[in-house]
A and B are shown apart, each in its own frame.
Chain A
């Protein structure tokens, strides 16, 4: 066994002899990733229903039909309640939003369809500001159901005739219309009246269920991820993020360990041996990279075996990203040892730096939720390349070419860290 091998072997044996360190760097990321993965998406499954409340202050046939349509919509988990209770549910975060259908809505809404200047009835949408993204979805689906039910009311023989008769009177008396416009509108009302009469005559049993406007298209949802047979797995992101974070914590321990060796006189003892500086520092980089790779493999073994994470992209690319990150971790540890004065101070500063790196790298929340400027800025953060690379090789299912940039970026930063560390390393005791 040559000196380099002996030093690397020693570091690996010592690291894994420390049960607490192993617990922190292997078990903790698995547990935390399991939690985040479950919260942020979990294993492949159908989208959950959005909890929404509706308040029907109108209690008309139109408003009741809107409530019924919303109840049958699988997007919503609908609760019908009163206005005070609806506000309370939103405030407590138990529903994302609450729609309040005002009194008189059933009469006013059909009229507003044909009278541009008419006062439109107002549906208040109370929403949870922490769930603002749900607001747009609720408004969109509400619009669909309201249009369908209101137009149905306008054109159905039972309720539509009364509405059309009322509008016809307004049009005939309106001074703001010229003769031609008035004639065209009255002709339209005649056609609607004729349609309502025919519907009543030919199918009296179905007259009340006449269809109103409907969406002129259907949608078909299809997830775009690495494997057509499998849906997105939220654990793929959480394991990438937590794996990166805790492996970097291991890198801190490597660096602090070197400072402790110095304090205990062990470094002096190693330096007294006929070993080059390259051997001494190179062994630390090599052992750190091997330890990080082992931890990386253990974390992903759990992710794959227990949480259903799959490498749908290039396996070679996945391994390359893992190794590049392991080298990055190792050189990060060496940098800490080179810049740190005492183990205690170095650990504190390094933990802060690591938390910033993982936060900006998207380990906690995906970078796509960052503002655009922050997304642009964080391309210089090496942890982002690690997480992007791991996601590309897992659930995105991309090929080896997608691993090239992350690997190159991490190796470049590793080289920079190693260069600074060797320049700044204090060899004198």
Chain B
């Protein structure tokens, strides 16, 4: 569904992304992992058409993602790291706005809004303003806003930052529902347990490059024998693999 090939992006002399390629199939959740400054946000920006790559291509179902008004952007939903809601508009009004921006016609928008609210469990709060919501409710509405136009690909940039375990669990349930509906999801996170629970495959990037890709098991198998033994001795989690691959130095 989503295919990115050889993406490059520099800001002045600094290379943010250097030749990243990745793929997300329909009904698949791909985890995009990397330490701070690894190039995750720049990659997501290029995947959704916000940031034009210096080189490389992004395509959805074979259609290249082009400029600002590119029609293929209607097939992409973006959940930003920030809670990007108009807090003084009602929950349904936020969804109606984003639906209109993606060209959803008025006759089906109402149903889409109801469906999106139902998916994230906010039907009872349709008229309430997000300013009155808890952090978890805002995060769920944030996801709903990216779904209201029924995209084929959903890009999620750390969508669970600052939410309680109950809300996080509800969000995971929502995402698994979407996977079951055949959506392709790219999930960026710092929480390795989230990636372990949700992601079918993981792409680990560092210094703007893909350093490993595969399932948790295949990543473990990719490690040299000595490193694999150390990781397994610890606990054999994805976090151990991640730390082994990206190092333990602080990234600020």
CB within 8 Å of B: which residues of A? 1-3, 5-7, 10, 13-14, 17-18, 264-266, 268-277, 279-280, 428-429
Q: Which of A265, A279, A280, A429 has the most CB of B within 10 A?
A: A265
Question: When the two chains form their complex, are residues A428 and B69 in contact, meaning their CB atoms are under 8 A apart?
Answer: no
Q: How far is the CB of B139 from chain A (nearest CB, A)?
A: 13
Residues on the B chain within 8 Å of A5, using CB: 100
Question: When the two chains form their complex, are residues A274 and B84 in contact, meaning their CB atoms are under 8 A apart?
Answer: no
Residues on the A chain within 8 Å of B96, using CB: 6
CA distance A167 to B6 in the complex (A): 116
Tell which of A266, A271, A277, A428 touches B86, judged by Cβ atoms closer than 8 Å: A266
Given A7-B101, A274-B103, A269 contacting B71 (CB threshold 8 A): no
Question: When the two chains form their complex, are residues B100 and A2 in contact, meaning their CB atoms are under 8 A apart?
Answer: yes
The yes or no answer to B98 lying at the interface (CB within 8 A) is yes
Given A265-B81, A272-B78, A273-B98, A1 contacting B69 (CB threshold 8 A): no
Residues on the B chain within 8 Å of A6, using CB: 96-97, 100-101
Given A269-B78, A275-B68, A3 contacting B103 (CB threshold 8 A): yes
Question: When the two chains form their complex, are residues A272 and B76 in contact, meaning their CB atoms are under 8 A apart?
Answer: yes
Question: Which 8 A-B pairs give the minimum distances between C-beta atoms?
Answer: A265-B82, A6-B100, A269-B84, A274-B73, A273-B101, A276-B69, A272-B78, A265-B84
Chain B residue nearest to A273 in the complex (CB)? B101
Residues on the B chain within 8 Å of A14, using CB: 86, 88-89
Chain B, 58-98, contact with A by CB distance < 8 Å: what is the 0/1 string?
00000000001111111010101111111011000100111
The yes or no answer to B51 lying at the interface (CB within 8 A) is yes
Tell which of B45, B69, B89 touches A429, judged by Cβ atoms closer than 8 Å: B45
Given A10-B97, A271-B68, A272-B73, A428 contacting B51 (CB threshold 8 A): yes
Report 25 cross-chain contacts, Cβ distance below 8 Å, ordered by A residue. Answer: A1-B106, A2-B100, A3-B100, A5-B100, A6-B96, A7-B101, A10-B86, A14-B86, A264-B83, A264-B84, A265-B83, A266-B82, A266-B84, A268-B78, A268-B84, A270-B101, A272-B48, A272-B50, A272-B78, A274-B74, A275-B101, A276-B68, A276-B69, A279-B69, A429-B50
CA distance A269 to B45 in the complex (A): 11
The yes or no answer to B8 lying at the interface (CB within 8 A) is no
Given A3-B100, A3-B101, A273 contacting B73 (CB threshold 8 A): yes
CA distance A3 to B102 in the complex (A): 7
CA distance A17 to B87 in the complex (A): 11
Residues on the B chain within 8 Å of A271, using CB: 50, 68
CA distance A174 to B162 in the complex (A): 110
With A269-B98, A274-B69 known, 10 other A-B pairs at CB within 8 A are A1-B100, A6-B96, A6-B101, A266-B82, A266-B85, A269-B78, A269-B84, A273-B98, A277-B68, A279-B69
CA distance A277 to B63 in the complex (A): 21
CA distance A271 to B78 in the complex (A): 10
Question: When the two chains form their complex, are residues B89 and A264 in contact, meaning their CB atoms are under 8 A apart?
Answer: no
The yes or no answer to B49 lying at the interface (CB within 8 A) is yes
CA distance A271 to B76 in the complex (A): 12
CA distance A5 to B71 in the complex (A): 19
Q: How far is the CB of B195 from chain A (nearest CB, A)?
A: 22
Given A264-B82, A265-B81, A17 contacting B88 (CB threshold 8 A): yes
Question: When the two chains form their complex, are residues B100 and A272 in contact, meaning their CB atoms are under 8 A apart?
Answer: no
CA distance A268 to B78 in the complex (A): 9
Chain A residue nearest to B105 in the complex (CB)? A1
Residues on the B chain within 8 Å of A7, using CB: 97, 101
Tell which of B68, B71, B89 touches A10, judged by Cβ atoms closer than 8 Å: B89
Q: How far is the CB of B239 from chain A (nearest CB, A)?
A: 27
Residues on the B chain within 8 Å of A13, using CB: 88-89, 93
Given A14-B86, A274-B74, A265 contacting B80 (CB threshold 8 A): yes
Question: When the two chains form their complex, are residues A268 and B98 in contact, meaning their CB atoms are under 8 A apart?
Answer: no
CA distance A270 to B145 in the complex (A): 11
CA distance A429 to B73 in the complex (A): 18
